[in-house]
Structures are given as C-alpha cells and as structure tokens.
Structure 1
C-alpha cells in the first residue's frame, strides 16, 4: 500500500486530482467510443470493468430480493455463490496483473502520472480488505440460509441485512475506483497507441 493523502483514499475522494486529468481533457469519455485507438487493451479494460459493474449490480439485486422475500432461502445460494465467486476471483486476478505489470509499465511510460498509480495501488489494498470482509459475510449468509432450509434457526435475515450493507459499501468503493482508473488509464492508452500500436 502506498502512502497517500487521506483525502485521496478511495472511500473519501470524489475523483482524481485535477493535475492527473490532463489526458482525460484531451481524450474525454464521450469521445472514447469513436476513437480509432479504442481496441485491444483499452477496449478489453473497459469490458472487464463493465463485467465487474454488472456482477456487482446483480449481486446487490439478489440480496435485496432475498431480504424482501422474492427469493427463497433454498434458491438463493447456488447463483449467489457463482456470481460472488466470479466477481471476487476476477477482481483479484485483474488487480494482480495491474499491480505486477500494467501499473509499473504505465508509470514508467508516463512518470507525471506516478501519483495516480500510487492512488490506484492504494485503492487495491482497500478493495482487497473489503473483499475479505465480503467473502466472510457471504459464507456466514450461506451457512445461515442452510440452517433455515434445514429447520435450524440460522437467523438468515439478520445476516442478509449485514451482507447487504457490506455489498452497498463495497459497490461504492469499487465503482469509484473503476471510474478513476479509467479516467487515468484509458486516455493514456489512447495517446500512446497513436505513436506505438503495441503499447501496453
């Protein structure tokens, strides 16, 4: 974890500092879809982030349906476990590749953005702490639901309420991180691939 200003922590900030957004002003979001360089790495990055967003929304919706009685305790666990396992596993793998390869190589190519990569690196540490908490809460929920299905008092509603809070906080943190990461990295890729199509 990098040492960054507390105001730049992913759970506190509302966006990246202005001094890191010069390339975003040159390559604004509303023009990305029409940029001829938006293929390969940049397009794959955005698709991966969209998968994370989609899974996060689906999981939150499933948990709400369970709490409000639209999904039975017996039907909930299999799909929930698959989706949660996919989200947390894919996030972990994605972050490992970023931390070990992409962030160092991008920072070397654009030293002025080093502070941004330090911020993103710190985000990963925060998110992985949240992943651990979410994984623990998920296992507790499945155990409680198992008790309810088998006739034991698993207090599933109480656990579902708690995991709903964990998911809501996780979503806010994850979405802030994904948005800021895109603001820093996609414009950098778009700029660099004009000069070097193999960049990244």
Structure 2
C-alpha cells in the first residue's frame, strides 16, 4: 500500500487552488478557453486511471485464481508496460514543456509545481518497483508457475500504490493547471 512508498498522501493545500474557485471543474468544458489540447491532456489522465485500475484488478484476479496465470502475464505485460511507459513519457513532457508554459503564464503555478515535481519523482520510484516485480512474474511464468503466482503477491501493493497515487495526483494536477489554462486562455 502507500505506506510502503514515500509518497504524498494528502490533497494539495487549499492555497494552491487559487483559481479553482473562479473556474470549478464542472464548468471547464463549457468555458470558451477550454480547447482540444486540454481535452486530450485530461483524456490521457483518464486513461492512466483506467489502466492502473485494470492492472490492480487483474492482479487481484490472478491471486484469487479467477484468471489463469498465462492470461494475467499477457495482460500485465501489455497494460503494465503501456501504463509505465506512457506515464514516464507523459510526465517528462509535462516537466519539460507543459509546466514551464503554465509557470511563465502565472508565476503562482511555481509553488504547486514544486509539489507536482516531487510527486513525479516519487512516482518514478513506484514505477521502477512495479517494473521489477512485474518482470519477475513474467519471467517466472515460463519457468515455475507456482513461484510466479506467489510473486504476483508482490505486484499487488505496487499496483495499489500506483492507482491511489494517480487518483490523488492527477486530480491535484488538473485542479491547479486547468484553471490557469482557462484564466489565461492558453493551449489554444
């Protein structure tokens, strides 16, 4: 669970939600500054949430013997690999392109950025741990099914941590960034 990893487990401080009251989440799509680029960014976040949930549920299913190990290994390889690779790419793009744009538009973003960048560094640790544990299960599946099944027990806490982390982090990121985008009419 989260206590196995060093990750922030509390919401973003209220003072960092400085434009959220002017631009609440339920008004974003109707705002004239809400453009396709922002919709795609939020869509990527939704995809990450769904895939993280899928990896966790599949791991629970193999541990409960609701799916065969071979099916699980295929799913873990495909969905786990895509989740990890795409999260690294997405966060790299945010850190090097997207967040600097928001910071230049509104310097108040910088305080929240410090928190988000720390989150990204913490998530990298969990993703690396998940990669090692998942790869071990995948390799063992052809060598020793019993041991591979046992090793899936180690994948579950990492999958749970990624899912919980994304639920909190992505919401915080969205509630900091989208109001700035709307307020300053960015990403058009």
Q: TM-score, normalised by structure 2?
A: 0.90
State how far apart, in whole Å, the 2-side matches of 1:108 and 1:36 are. Answer: 21
1:15 to 2:11 alignment: yes
**How do 1:108-147 and structure 2 match up within 5 A?**
108-147=104-143
1:104 to 2:100 alignment: yes
**How do 1:56-71 and structure 2 match up within 5 A?**
56-71=52-67
For the pair shown, the structure with the greater C-alpha radius of gyration is 1
Structure 2 SS opposite 1:25: coil
Could you list the runs of 4 or more consecutive aligned residues of structure 1 that deviate by over 4 angstroms after TM superposition? none
Structure 2 SS opposite 1:26: coil
Distance 1:103 1:197, change over 3 A: closer
Quote the residue 1:84 is aligned against. 80
Distance 1:197 1:159, change over 3 A: closer
Structure 2 SS opposite 1:75: helix
The answer to whether the 8 A contact 2:19-2:180 is kept is yes
Q: How many equivalent pairs are there?
A: 183
Q: Structure 2: which 5+ runs fail to align? A: 1-5
1:148 to 2:144 alignment: yes
Higher relative contact order (CA 8 A, sep 6+): 2
State how far apart, in whole Å, the 2-side matches of 1:197 and 1:19 are. Answer: 24
The answer to whether the 8 A contact 1:42-1:190 is kept is no
What's the CA shift for 1:37? 2.5
Tell me how large the CA RMSD over aligned residues is: 1.7
Q: 1:37 aligns with which of 13, 33, 37?
A: 33
State how far apart, in whole Å, the 1-side matches of 2:88 and 2:181 are. Answer: 22
What's the CA shift for 1:170? 1.8
